[in-house]
């Protein structure tokens, strides 16, 4: 057991005695960081986008980023994203990308108050394993979908996971490390930061979604309006039902039931921690709930995209919205949205329907970001009720309106900035050069997705489920998630997105 510091969503640092894997949820932060993960994600995400956009007016500064194609011959798999850097070769592009990420993220780790040397060593190993997983996932036997592709690569069968099957490989490798090699997982924990990686990816995703949406602005704005339903569903319906189930059916105390309801209903880790702070719960409570959220999010990522492909491929945007509503934690949800898009689009392509890529992940991300925005407001409402009606103490601390801003997920601002910049440039007629520049930034988005999947796997210790007492918490989660949340999410996604299709290619 370790005495660790829990960096809460609102930026305060609290302490508590946690197990090793609980500690991994909030990596070492011995002192209050000068910069939070949200701020760092905004800086890195916007920085990458600015470097990519330089190519609109001058030199191509990011064309060296490594990209992986589906391969049968491994020597032909890797390459630089831009032809201008083809001379680097695949290995050169890979090493350059690694070094660039190492320098930027090590500086970020220093700003977060982490030990830079330990981070750099752990990140090197994390990058190697995660990218190797991505490389394996692009093998033709895993990635090809159509018979034509299989013939092209000379393979007779395939798992048909698409070229984004590497995410699943990275997740599984992470799970194996967490559950079979826990000491190695603990050694890696300095660079296991799924929330940071996914927040950078979401900031980068803003520009990509904007360029996708610019071509069909009316459709995009219609979809945005429908994202409002997700907010109502998560905060007002899911939360109250899960809270009732936890309190009435399972007999949990208020201190446990509120973070649990937020974890299952809203957006996993961040919501559980914000709620824990709002109702003045002991820090161990939301952290334990968060570890449960991560475990179930992994189960969802491994199951729901394939269910979406099987049963919802005729309704692609219903599938995308459903994933955003059902999968908890930003990282798992947006990443699952990426896999779902690949799987659904591949199935449609096999049937001769070629949808434009980008729309499904745009819907999943919009749903998730809309939900995230209101975490602060919801935490304030709970804090007001708890401090004024439930834990009333003479002269006790009362809820402050400033908590709404303190708990606001700041990385959302980065998403809004990159979305606005991308949209302004696209509507200003930047055209194919903009698409190429945003494509280079998107290469880094894919790399951060890979790091997110691997990190989530490394944090997921299934042995926790057998820990005494944990089963009751897991039971509430299981009943609420699989008995209620995913079905209501499916009905509401259907109500708002049925019949709405992404534009076709060309």
Partner 1 sequence: MSDQELRNELKAPVEPLLPIEKKLIGWSLGIGVALLVLLVIINHFLPVA
Q: How far is the CB of 8 from partner 1 (least distance, A)?
A: 17
- Spatial CB neighbours of 442, under 8 Å, sequence gap ≥ 6: 204, 208
Contact 124, 118 (CB under 8 A): no
Q: Locate 437 and state its tokens.
A: 């520049």
Neighbouring-strand partners of residue 68 = 78
Q: How far is the CB of 86 from partner 1 (least distance, A)?
A: 42
Query: From the centroid of its chain, how far is CA 317?
Result: 18
Q: How far is the CB of 222 from partner 1 (least distance, A)?
A: 4
> Quick count: other Cβ atoms within 10 Å of Cβ 388?
12
For residue 48, which of 205, 209, 212, 210 has the smallest C-alpha distance? 205
The residues binding partner 1 (CB under 8 A) are 1, 16-18, 218-219, 222-223, 225-226, 228-229, 232-233, 235-237, 239-241, 243-244, 247-248, 251-254, 256, 284, 288, 385, 389-390, 467-470, 472-473, 492, 495-496, 499-500
Cβ proximity to partner 1, 202 vs 371, nearer residue = 371
CA dist 235 and 258 (Å) reads 12
The CA-CA-CA angle for residues 298, 501, 228, to 5°, reads: 65
Q: How far is the CB of 178 from partner 1 (least distance, A)?
A: 19
Q: How far is the CB of 253 from partner 1 (least distance, A)?
A: 5
Q: How far is the CB of 19 from partner 1 (least distance, A)?
A: 8
Q: How far is the CB of 320 from partner 1 (least distance, A)?
A: 13
CA pseudo-torsion sign 108, 110, 114, 119: positive
CA dist 212 and 321 (Å) reads 17
- Spatial CB neighbours of 262, under 8 Å, sequence gap ≥ 6: 239, 271, 272, 274, 275, 378
Cβ proximity to partner 1, 286 vs 439, nearer residue = 286
Length in residues, the chain: 506
Question: Where would I find the H helices in 313-374?
Answer: 316-326, 330-350, 359-373
Q: How far is the CB of 252 from partner 1 (least distance, A)?
A: 7
For residue 357, which of 80, 76, 164 has the smallest C-alpha distance? 164
Cβ proximity to partner 1, 105 vs 257, nearer residue = 257
């Amino acid at each position: 057991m370790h005495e660790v510091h829990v960096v809460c969503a609102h930026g305060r640092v609290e302490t508590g005695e946690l197990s090793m894997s609980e500690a991994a949820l909030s990596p070492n932060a011995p002192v209050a960081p000068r910069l939070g993960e949200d701020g760092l994600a905004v800086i890195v995400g916007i920085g990458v986008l600015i470097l990519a956009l330089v190519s609109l007016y001058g030199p191509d500064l990011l064309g060296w980023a490594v990209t992986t194609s589906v391969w049968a011959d491994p020597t032909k798999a890797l390459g630089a994203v831009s032809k201008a850097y083809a001379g680097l070769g695949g290995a050169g592009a890979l090493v350059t990308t690694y070094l660039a990420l190492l320098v930027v993220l090590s500086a970020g780790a220093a700003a977060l108050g982490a030990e830079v040397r330990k981070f750099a060593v752990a990140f090197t190993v994390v990058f190697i394993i995660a990218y190797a997983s991505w490389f394996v996932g692009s093998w033709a036997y895993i990635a090809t979908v159509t018979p034509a592709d299989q013939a092209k690569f000379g393979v007779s069968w395939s798992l048909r996971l698409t070229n984004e099957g590497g995410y699943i490989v990275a997740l599984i490798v992470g799970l194996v490390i967490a559950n079979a090699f826990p000491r190695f997982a603990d050694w890696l924990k300095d660079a296991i930061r799924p929330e940071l990686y996914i927040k950078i990816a979401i900031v980068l995703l803003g520009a990509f979604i904007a360029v996708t949406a610019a071509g069909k602005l009316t459709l995009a704005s219609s979809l945005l309006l429908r994202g409002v339903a997700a907010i109502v569903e998560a905060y007002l319906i899911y939360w109250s039902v899960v809270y009732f189930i936890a309190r009435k059916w399972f007999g949990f105390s208020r201190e446990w039931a509120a973070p649990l309801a937020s974890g299952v209903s809203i957006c996993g880790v961040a919501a559980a921690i914000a709620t824990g702070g709002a109702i003045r719960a002991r820090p161990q409570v939301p952290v334990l709930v968060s570890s449960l959220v991560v475990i179930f999010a992994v189960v969802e990522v491994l199951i729901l995209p394939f269910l979406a492909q099987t049963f919802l491929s005729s309704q692609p945007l219903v599938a995308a919205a459903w994933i955003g509503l059902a999968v908890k934690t930003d990282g798992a949800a947006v990443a699952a949205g990426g896999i779902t898009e690949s799987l659904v689009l591949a199935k449609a392509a096999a049937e001769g329907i070629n949808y434009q890529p980008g729309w499904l992940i745009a819907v999943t991300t919009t749903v998730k970001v809309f939900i995230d925005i209101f975490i602060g407001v919801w935490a304030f409402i709970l804090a007001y009720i708890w401090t004024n009606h439930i834990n009333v103490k003479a002269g006790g601390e009362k809820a402050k309106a400033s908590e709404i801003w303190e708990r606001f997920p700041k990385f959302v601002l980065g998403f809004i900035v990159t979305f606005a910049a991308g949209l302004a440039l696209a509507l200003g007629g930047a055209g194919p050069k903009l698409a190429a520049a945003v494509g280079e930034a998107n290469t880094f988005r894919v790399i951060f997705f890979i790091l997110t999947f691997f990190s989530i796997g490394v944090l997921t210790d299934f042995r926790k489920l057998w820990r005494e007492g944990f089963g009751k918490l897991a039971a509430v989660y299981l009943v609420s998630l699989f008995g209620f949340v995913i079905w209501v999410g499916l009905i509401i996604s259907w109500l708002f997105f049925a019949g709405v299709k992404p534009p076709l290619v060309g």
